[in-house]
Amino acid sequence: MRLVWLTLALGVTLAGMNPADASDTPTAKTPADQAATDDPWLWLEDIHGTRSMEWVKQENARTQARFASDASFDKTRDAILQVLDSDARIPYVNRMGGELYNFWRDKTHPRGVWRRTTLAEYRKAEPKWEVLLDIDALNKAEGKRWVFKGVQCLKPAFERCLVSLSPDGGDAVAVREFSIPKKAFVKGGFELPVAKSDVGWIDEDTIYVGTDFGPGSMTASSYPRIVKEWKRGTPLSAAATVHEGKHDDLAVSAFHDRTPGYERDFVSVAKDFFHSELFLRHGGKLTRLDVPTDADANAHREWLLVQTRSPWTVGGATYPSGALLAIRFDDFIAGKREFTVLFKPDEHTALSSYAWTRNHLILDVLDDVKSRLEVLTPPRMAGADDDWHPEVLPGAPALSTVSVVDTDPDHSDEYWLDVAGFLTPASLERGVLGSTPAETIKQEPAFFDASKFTVSQHFVTSKDGTRVPYFEIAPKGIKLDGANRTLLYGYGGFEVSLLPHYSGSIGRAWLDRGGVYVVANIRGGGEYGPRWHKAALKANRPRAYEDFAAVAQDLIKRGVTSPGHLGAEGGSNGGLLMGNMLTMYPQLFGAIACEVPLLDMKRYSHLSAGASWMAEYGNPDTADWNFIKTFSPYQNVKKDGHYPPVLFYTATSDDRVGPVQARKMAAKMQAQGHPDVWFYENLEGGHGAGADNQQSAHMHAMAYDFLWDQLK
């Protein structure tokens, strides 16, 4: 099972340290060391240093005064906050046993409550919830600022859980055992201090744990290198080692499948974002599953599913990239390699995801970035492996997204769907395959008047001839006079797809003002499967930037907007995209919002979790720098360049990308004399830049008001 990271979901940091400082052993200087020596803004890498934080405070005050200190900003922020805090939002749930669980934040509970209810109660307009853990009350009692980061509960009883709590919204968490019947943390139970940990239940008295066990126990990406088996009542130091990875692996983890009759243990060694090795643990020994390291292997009951990322020749057949294959697990272990093809992509389609119910498999297929669902029923008898009985499951309206958000694979064929479009508020539907068609259980309210707008999909030819899609949400009867304030959003990395979705915040803060909103489905994403992602890897990274620029040029050519009225926004890897729009294509944009970004690609692998992304970008300490330098904004910004106004925003507690790259880029551009370079850093919130709804509303409102102001 290849580790799946939805954004840059990565590790802890030695930011602010020269790599040579991390050890007493002298090492040869890398190109990044030399870059650091030549970097006058290196001191900003001291994340919590007095000098750094003083600079941050000064920049925050300047940006706050300019874009977040008048009635207009208050109106935008409050409009967004009303959406985020609305009691009419859908409380999304996941089933554990006979009850439905939800984590909820609102005005009364800014840090949130973890709660549960029954299906019968959930169907009501105003369900009664049983609160299990109140994070705000916990913070008051402990004098902390905990941010809830998820929970794992032991099935089938679902009474004991491992709760993850971040001290500042970052990815490093404390882990505590929690008792649902007692609604309290277990005294003397499993507990870990704040670290980048990976934990999972084996049984009521045993867990798998990967954490910071001391020097040398974390990878270069600052994830667990060692996974152990920890028995209740024993010190962590007595936990038995299950497997040790290498320092340059991304992460090592283990998990136990408790499915009755199919209990199995696995160890996963992630080599990088897209390559991993999966081992079956049995009798104290590890047996590697013989699948390609870049494939995603998933065992469920009697089946092994393999999703390919590269063509794979095995058992006398060749399977294409992006295919989904099935074989009986025991047959595979016995050496058989005759797979059944469950999905095969074509020029227009890709497999977005799949989900098991008790007796069926639901495929979420993208067809030119639009959703459709298919249901497969596996054969019950051995020898009939080719007959999976495919059927079409009614999907979403045109230009919408339908996705499976929960199933009950151990007990029933229940499934939950989230259905939404750019102008269609999300609905949560529930059905039972074979008996109950999907029915709407919850409907999100309309937060803006969608009747004034229209959605369209367009295709543009990129520089190398590739056909690139994009979605446009615009006022009905729009005048194609080039005068429309237009916001172009993109990501283009890590095989992440940007799909149609409903956003009350965007509707209120951008569309209701008369703006046009555009989503670019550029290469590097997953809209057309692995091939779309690989087309922008490493040396091919500029293809993503050419695609985004092509969309911008098409909007201008069509008369939707003009450079002075066209803004761009992106975060994380999308922040790197924004940095390259700034340095490569400044003539196309009137303003850019660059959020929690990567920018210094010379040193990125030595900052925060950067070492884990080298499969995406390359290793700047090798000859890869010859191509990486072409898309490193921090190195490419020039004193004599002409750049549009730019806002960099980040978070001190971001322990994935870290705040230092945005800091350094802003400081460098200001020192070069470029006007309209703005910077804001939230203290909490981690990579999301907001620890609660109030903080999130503030950050988003600042970006939207900055862009609207600059695109006059």
First to last CA, the chain: 49
**Residue tagged active-site, from 352, 497, 572, 608:** 572
Query: Is 360 one of the annotated active-site residues of the chain?
Result: no
Euclidean distance between CA atoms 504 and 499, whole angstroms: 16
* CA dist list (Å): 658 to 224, 329, 415, 559, 698: 19, 41, 38, 38, 20
**Residue tagged active-site, from 109, 533, 606, 687:** 687
- Tell me, what amino acid is at 206? T
DSSP 8-state code for residue 224: B
Q: Cβ(280)–Cβ(265) under 8 Å?
A: yes
Q: What residue ranges in 5-141 does DSSP mark as E strands?
A: 94-96, 99-104, 113-117, 130-134
Strand pairing of 147-153 and 160-166? antiparallel
* 3-state secondary structure (DSSP) of residue 676: coil
Structure tokens at 44: 């900003």
Query: Is 674 one of the annotated active-site residues of the chain?
Result: no
Q: Cβ(389)–Cβ(376) under 8 Å?
A: yes
Q: Cβ(214)–Cβ(262) under 8 Å?
A: no
Euclidean distance between CA atoms 659 and 665, whole angstroms: 10
Number of neighbours of residue 478 by Cβ within 10 angstroms? 15
404 CB-near residues (< 8 Å, 6+ apart)? 353, 355, 362, 364, 373, 415, 416, 417
Q: Cβ(645)–Cβ(678) under 8 Å?
A: yes
Query: Residue 573: enclosing H or E segment and its boundaries?
Result: helix 573-584
Q: Cβ(291)–Cβ(278) under 8 Å?
A: yes
Would you please indicate which residues are annotated as catalytic (active-site) residues? 572, 687
